[in-house]
Amino acid sequence: MNPKTNSQQAPVLGAEAIALLERLSNAVAVSGDEGEVRAIVLEQVKPHADEVKVDALGNVLVTRKAKTKDALRIMLAAHMDEIGFMLVDEEEGGLYRFATVGGIDVRQLVGKPVWVGKQHQAGIIGARPIHLTKRDEREHSIPLDQLRIDLGLNGKAKVGDRATFATTFRQSGPSLVGKALDNRFGVATLIELLKQAPQNVDLLLAFTVQEEVGLRGVRVAAYAFAPDAAIAVDSTPAADLPMWDGSENSKFNCRLDGGPAIYVADSGTLSDPRLIRHLSQTGDELGIPYQFRQPGGGGTDAGAIHKTRSGVPSISVSVPGRYAHSAVLIGRLADWQNTFNLLHAGISRMNRVLFEQPR
């Protein structure tokens, strides 16, 4: 069989898939309050699933049975939550103190519009006029306790409400641009995989909560599924920008247009070597571009999955994205498509022999 024909048979992520990604990107789902994304996920998965459950933490657990008997149980995890803010104190005149949720660089906050609460109420984060700042003050980042979310003079929100950057999704040439594409890319990928589900495995999809605050949702999801193997599908930073001195950038993590980033090692997981081999061979044989994410820090849901029960062979595959954990992430449609293709083909080719050799 000509490998090229095989890869062309893989389904295309067209206008409909992009529209779904857009809805997901524009939804607000700060860790612990993932309801808005959960609603979209539930609506999308129900027609295609054999079983759908929302668990005690708010994870959506979806099962789609194989057409064969004694099939491998393969778990795919994508987190629904995003970084953001929680209002923690109300002051006069529509001003609110807030805390950050998840890893946010305070230098990213100033001068940004935000959406507050379930109604996406408009707000802004301002700063002291430059005229009133002193030179030494300008040498330091503006600390969080000096910042407020301003809802306008009559703005009314509740302490405890969540907020996030107000960024509307758009396409720009080959790129997809939006907030929270870490990890709505993963959420959309799982939904599309369910719609075109490989028939050879029991597909166990976990749309997880609280990843950004410590991989908490996925831990109980993996316990409930007790899978034979798992793949975390996420988005990983592409730091493929020039170095300050023009020297070779050896710390790019991964690159846009390089295809899905396969993890070898991050701070939470040493990927199962059998799965690294399997996915890279799948890419090589079918002509699906992929790249190895540079080993190093960071982490995904795999960090919790692989330690569940007696251990689960696990790996992560990510869609590259620039500027994660800020107001805007830029990814490529082609990378997303190839991530989908690699996962679809990789899962379709999985069988028990893969795990018979000890790790």
Partner 1 sequence: MKALIQKLVESIGPSGYESNVRELIKTEIGDAASNFQVDPLGSLLVRTGKKTAAGMRVMLSAHMDEIGVIATHIDENGFVRLTTVGGVSPRTCYGGRVIFVSGVHGVIGGDRPDSPTSMHSIEQLFIDVGATSRENCPVKVGDFAAFDRPFLDLGDRLVAKSMDDRIAVAILVETLRALKGKETPHELVFVFSTQEEVGLRGATAAAYGVDPDLGLSVDVTGVGDTPKGAKMEVGLGKGPAVKVRDGRMLADPRIVRWMVDTAEKAQLPYQLEVLEAGTTDAAAIQLARAGVPAGCMSIPCRYIHSPSEMVDYNDVTNCVRLLVELLSHPIELK
Partner 2 sequence: MTDLSAFLKELLSLPGLSGYEGPVREVIARTWQPLVDELSTSRLGCLHGLRRGSGSEPRPRILLSAHMDAIGLMVTQIQDGFLRFTEIGGVDPRILPGQQVTVHGRREIPGVVVQPPERLLPPGHGDQPVAMEYLFVDTGLLPEEVQQLVRTGDLISFATLPLELSGETLAGHSLDNRASVAAVTACLDELANTRHAWDVWAVASVQEEETLGGAITSPFDIRPDIAVAIDVTFAKGPGVSDYRGAPLGKGPTLGWGPNIHPALYKAFKELADQLDIPNSMETMPHMSGTDAMGLQIVAEGIPTMVISIPLRYMHTPVELIAMKDVTRVGHLMAEYIARLEPDFIDHIRWDD
Look up 211 and say whether it is catalytic. yes
For partner 1, the closer of residues 166 and 206 by Cβ is 206
Per partner kind, with CB cut-offs from 5 to 8 A, the member of partner 2, partner 1, none near residue 38 is partner 2
**Residue 101 binds to partner 2 (criterion: CB under 8 A):** yes
Greatest alpha-carbon span in the chain: 72
Crossing angle, helix 15-26 and helix 35-45, to 10 degrees?
150
For partner 2, the closer of residues 58 and 346 by Cβ is 58
Active-site annotation holder among 36, 192, 211, 212: 211
| Preceding peptide of 351 cis, ω within 30° | no
Contact between residue 257 and residue 240 where contact means Cβ atoms under 8 Å apart: no
Crossing angle, helix 181-195 and helix 15-26, to 10 degrees?
140
Stretch that binds partner 2, among 120-128, 164-172, 213-221, 272-280 (CB under 8 A): 213-221
Site residues for partner 1, 114-173, by CB under 8 A, read none
* Shortest separation between residue 148's beta carbon and partner 1, angstroms: 37
The C-alpha atoms of residue 314 and residue 304 are separated, in whole angstroms, by 10
Judged by CB under 8 A, which of 12, 127, 159, 243 binds partner 2? 159
Per partner kind, with CB cut-offs from 5 to 8 A, the member of partner 1, partner 2, none near residue 313 is partner 1
Write the single-letter amino acid at 307.
K
Encoding tokens for residue 86?
């929680």
> Which residues is 208 bridged to in the sheet?
79
**Residue 31 binds to partner 2 (criterion: CB under 8 A):** yes
**Residue 89 binds to partner 2 (criterion: CB under 8 A):** yes
Judged by CB under 8 A, which of 140, 173, 248, 353 binds partner 1? 248
The C-alpha atoms of residue 200 and residue 174 are separated, in whole angstroms, by 33
* Shortest separation between residue 212's beta carbon and partner 2, angstroms: 9
Encoding tokens for residue 200?
């050879």
Stretch that binds partner 1, among 61-69, 89-97, 231-239, 270-278 (CB under 8 A): 270-278
Site residues for partner 1, 282-321, by CB under 8 A, read 292, 294-296, 306-313
The C-alpha atoms of residue 291 and residue 294 are separated, in whole angstroms, by 9
Contact between residue 311 and residue 358 where contact means Cβ atoms under 8 Å apart: no
* Shortest separation between residue 214's beta carbon and partner 1, angstroms: 14
Say which residue the tokens 């005690």 belong to: 56
**Strand ranges (DSSP E) for 199-337?**
201-208, 229-237, 261-262, 291-292, 314-321, 329-332
* Shortest separation between residue 300's beta carbon and partner 2, angstroms: 17
The C-alpha atoms of residue 230 and residue 238 are separated, in whole angstroms, by 24
CA dihedral 162, 225, 302, 32 (to 10 degrees): 10
**Burial of 47 by CB count in 10 Å (0-12 exposed, 13-18 middle, 19+ buried)?**
exposed
Judged by CB under 8 A, which of 7, 13, 26, 32 binds partner 2? 32
Q: List contacts with partner 2 (CB under 8 A).
A: 31-33, 35-36, 38-39, 42, 54-59, 85-89, 97, 99-101, 159-160, 209-210, 213-214, 216, 219-221, 223-224
Q: List contacts with partner 1 (CB under 8 A).
A: 248, 250-251, 264-265, 270-271, 273, 276, 292, 294-296, 306-313, 358-359
Q: Which residues are catalytic?
A: 211
